[in-house]
Structure 1
Amino acid sequence: MASAPRSSGIKHASTAFAPWEDPDAKPLIQFKNVTKKFGDFTAIDDLTIDIYQREFFALLGPSGCGKTTLMRMLAGFENPTRGQILLGGQDIVAVPPNKRPVNMMFQSYALFPHLSVWDNIAFGLRRDKLDQDKIEERVAEMLRLTRLEQFAKRKPHQISGGQRQRVALARSLAKAPKLLLLDEPLGALDKKLRNETQFELMDIQEKTGTTFVIVTHDQEEAMTVASRVAVMDHGKMIQVDTPAGIYEAPNSVYVADFIGDVNIVEGNATVQGDRVHISFAEGADPIITAFDQPISDGQRVSYAIRPEKISVDREPLADRANHVRGKIEDIGYLGDVSTYHVRLPSGGLISALMTNSRRLARRDFTWDDEVWLSWTDTAGVLLTK
């Protein structure tokens, strides 16, 4: 199912949290021309990026794209082959992991099984030799923040997976780091609990004001929690933007195809006024779309449109610029929505997503029905790379 991105960093969004758009804002983290090589393999390729205080920044990409290497360099477990990594204006490349104001939460949680929830959270504070009164005050604060007060005396095996996740988070935040790194933190949870915990993470990050950097391969997780998402591939950040920007305005076929479900059609462009006509199949009407970049007649382009932007009807909708006729080849019923795979006369396949607002017995379409697909001239995105 292609689901539209939730408003990530919900509270941030409502207060126009966007320091990356402020030329006077000073980044908390700066990667400057960072390259990391393992022998002949380049894991990070000349990367430059700024991350700001109070951001919830997501590194998203397939296995091997470099996101974990990037996080390990922030933590101090790896050093760049060349380039600078600055935290609060200080070059931290030579600073050992235990001297950095950075904490890391692992997917396994790494809780001490013989210690209570209270003692797990207090562990790092005791190692720093804080006064007992301060330790008790800080642990109590973390228990309140993560809603674990009633579980303080229990051992990790006596609480649920979601509660263990919150204990690990409380322990990571107890020392008030400037930066918290989260490595696939929800990967061990089932889908329903993972969805619930995503919003808990956002709420805790908002309350503490700590900068979070999360590594994930889960698109929905990144789109839900993050203020900005970096889509990575082969050691490069292909696009860095808000979840809505990544989803609605991808800068390449790679990003469009990686995030959610999408239809991608290739064709030749013809500019007609403020619209581009894309000829994609012999005998088919061209796709009409808006464009915001230089396009020349005859240029080979790609057109990306999300399934939920397309209407499925018995007749073409008169108020839409684009209409394609086809036959329903397959239907994916997902409860709240259904995905229709429609085969075009040209042989191409288009997916459309419709909300199931009617009971199953009263739905309009079934297999092998002839239907019209309609969408507006601003529903899709024209891509040149």
Structure 2
Amino acid sequence: MALDAFAPWDDPNAKPLIQFQNVTKRFGDFTAIDDLTVDIFEREFFALLGPSGCGKTTMMRMLAGFETPTEGTILLSGQNIAPVPPNQRAVNMMFQSYALFPHLSVWDNIAFGLKRDRMPKDEMAARVEEMLRLTRLEKFARRKPHQISGGQRQRVALARSLAKAPKLLLLDEPLGALDKKLRQETQFELMDIQESTGTTFVIVTHDQEEAMTVASRVAVMDHGKIVQVATPDAIYEAPNSTYVADFIGDVNLLNGTVAAEGDKLHLSWAEGQPDIVGSSSKTFSKDQSAFFAIRPEKINITAQKPDGAANALKGKVLDIAYLGNISTYHVELKGGQVIKAQTANNRRISRRSFTWEDTVWLSWTDTAGVFLER
């Protein structure tokens, strides 16, 4: 599924599968969800991303039917789902703990919901076999959950959740229990399964890398509100606030006052330092307080001042974090400010160009960063 071909959120005629309309959820005096409005479309892999306590799990529990909104409406396929009990919704939820039945085989775990729905035996057997194939678990059908690995248990839980062919599958931190390598492999499996079934997936995660990998769109949440909803590349390259810029990936944030000169913006940000020059589609008033956000990998690091660079700052290497494929240099400027720059390690470490205490120049183009109002 090419992402550029799949963008129902840009189509004014597309009907959302899920609509949150001015939804607020309070627990006593605490507001978990605050007047939230968002649309999620059919066949989307939609990620709710944010720190603990930001309201993402409450949103999911309302979709599942375990909580009801204090105010506002949630529509599924145009129907208000508030009066529909959880077991009658075309929604299934997969928990972080997987919640498998230890005494049942993999086959019977997957068949559990179908048996309760009294599906005819031959239909049920065909459906379970289809789910086993989809999750590549055919060889493990007769084993019990304790006889298979964590990654396989995760796939059993997924197969069981998909067996009833829900319109919507909710995944609450589904990869939280897996180690990093297995998580990464499983992320791609999840994407393949989501694509081949065409089911709408909504995943809750606090792992930004996971959200950026799997999702068609990411909603970044803070204190019960959605701060930005966009495709992963838009969230990363064009964050709408310092909160989003800081939450997703690594970023340098410089604060100052802004002035327009021709089609360029100039940020006056530190005494003795040249203005930061860049461009922005936003309009800023003269001397307005603003932030400039730039990713470390967009900054070049050189021994000499580069000719013709739109932005160049001089400093000395304070610290180096070696991460195998990349190195992050912490460079201290004359006024004490520290800026992070990243380089790809395409040579062996002994050939590293810079070391601690070296004087270096940091430079970037006038389109490398973004100006933000807040």
Query: TM over 0.5, yes or no?
Result: yes
> Where in structure 2 are the equivalents of 1:60-99 lying within 5 Å?
60-99=49-88
Q: Tell me which of 135, 139, 144 is aligned to 1:150.
A: 139
Q: Tell me which of 230, 233, 249 is aligned to 2:238.
A: 249
Task: Please give the secondary structure, in 2, of the residue aligned with 1:276.
Answer: strand
Task: Please give the secondary structure, in 2, of the residue aligned with 1:247.
Answer: helix
Q: Tell me which of 353, 373, 376 is aligned to 2:365.
A: 376
Offset, 1:320 = 2.6
1:107 pairs with 2:96? yes
Task: Please give the secondary structure, in 2, of the residue aligned with 1:221.
Answer: helix
Offset, 1:294 = 1.4
Q: Tell me which of 315, 329, 334 is aligned to 1:340.
A: 329
TM-score (norm 1): 0.96
TM-score (norm 2): 0.99
Alignment match, 2:34? 45
The gaps in structure 2 that reach 5 residues or longer are none
Alignment match, 1:322? 311
1:293 pairs with 2:282? yes
Alignment match, 1:59? 48
Alignment match, 1:17? 6
Question: What CA distance in whole angstroms lies between the structure 2 residues aligned with 1:124 and 1:100?
Answer: 13
Question: What CA distance in whole angstroms lies between the structure 2 residues aligned with 1:25 and 1:238?
Answer: 23
The gaps in structure 1 that reach 5 residues or longer are 1-10
Distance 1:383 1:20, change over 3 A: same
1:308 pairs with 2:297? yes
| Counterpart residue identity of residue 278, structure 2 | T
1:30 pairs with 2:15? no
Alignment match, 1:172? 161
Alignment match, 1:161? 150
1:207 pairs with 2:224? no
Q: Structure 1 runs of 4+ off > 4 angstroms? A: none
| Counterpart residue identity of residue 32, structure 2 | A
> Where in structure 2 are the equivalents of 1:115-130 lying within 5 Å?
115-130=104-119
Alignment match, 1:4? none
Task: Please give the secondary structure, in 1, of the residue aligned with 2:155.
Answer: helix
Q: Which stretch has the larger CA shift, 319-328 or 158-167?
A: 319-328
Alignment match, 1:227? 216
> C-alpha root-mean-square deviation of aligned residues, in Å?
0.7
Counting matched residue pairs gives 374
Question: What CA distance in whole angstroms lies between the structure 1 residues aligned with 2:98 and 2:306?
Answer: 53
Question: What CA distance in whole angstroms lies between the structure 2 residues aligned with 1:193 and 1:58?
Answer: 19
Alignment match, 1:3? none
Alignment match, 2:124? 135
Question: What CA distance in whole angstroms lies between the structure 1 residues aligned with 2:271 and 2:71?
Answer: 52
| Counterpart residue identity of residue 166, structure 1 | R
Task: Please give the secondary structure, in 1, of the residue aligned with 2:175.
Answer: coil
Offset, 1:319 = 4.5
Q: Tell me which of 248, 265, 277 is aligned to 1:259.
A: 248
- On the 8 A contact 1:12/1:227 being kept in 2, the answer is no
Question: What CA distance in whole angstroms lies between the structure 2 residues aligned with 1:318 and 1:84?
Answer: 58
Distance 1:12 1:96, change over 3 A: farther
Task: Please give the secondary structure, in 1, of the residue aligned with 2:286.
Answer: coil
Question: What CA distance in whole angstroms lies between the structure 1 residues aligned with 2:244 and 2:190?
Answer: 25
Question: What CA distance in whole angstroms lies between the structure 1 residues aligned with 2:347 and 2:307?
Answer: 24
- On the 8 A contact 1:277/1:288 being kept in 2, the answer is yes
Question: What CA distance in whole angstroms lies between the structure 1 residues aligned with 2:134 and 2:262?
Answer: 56
Fraction of identical pairs, as percent: 72
Q: Tell me which of 246, 249, 265 is aligned to 1:276.
A: 265
Task: Please give the secondary structure, in 2, of the residue aligned with 1:207.
Answer: helix
